[in-house]
């Protein structure tokens, strides 16, 4: 029978190993929250600096969204391609 939940670990270590995992999780969460606040920090900058930063930041955001959408479609396209029957030359293999 196992003792307290702190005695259980997935890789054979003791409670100290689980605590370091918790520390990584918490620090990662805090780091991601800090990164997400970068957009609000730009509101504290002067108007001239904001004008210089707005276009590159909007372009970066749009590019990130497009890249994420395309990267998430790749497995779907590969699966569709691997399960469809071969099409004759010169014809697309799109199916509704």
User: Residue 96 pLDDT more than 60?
Assistant: no
Separation CA 42–CA 29 (nearest Å): 21
User: Residue 1 pLDDT more than 50?
Assistant: no
Q: How many percent of the chain have pLDDT more than 70?
A: 66
User: Residue 73 pLDDT more than 60?
Assistant: yes
Per-residue pLDDT at 17: 58
User: Residue 53 pLDDT more than 50?
Assistant: yes
Is residue 15 within 8 Å of 2, Cβ to Cβ? Answer: no
Per-residue pLDDT at 62: 94
Per-residue pLDDT at 66: 94
Residue 30 CB-density burial (10 A; 0-12 exposed, 13-18 middle, 19+ buried): exposed
């Amino acid at each position: 029978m196992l003792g307290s939940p702190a005695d259980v670990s997935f890789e054979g270590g003791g409670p100290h190993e689980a605590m370091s995992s918790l520390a990584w999780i918490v620090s990662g969460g805090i780091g991601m929250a800090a990164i997400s606040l970068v957009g609000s920090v730009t509101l504290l900058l002067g108007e001239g600096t904001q004008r210089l930063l707005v276009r590159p930041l909007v372009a970066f955001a749009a590019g990130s969204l497009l890249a994420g959408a395309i990267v998430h479609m790749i497995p779907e396209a590969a699966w569709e391609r691997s399960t469809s029957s071969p099409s004759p030359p010169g014809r697309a293999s799109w199916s509704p």
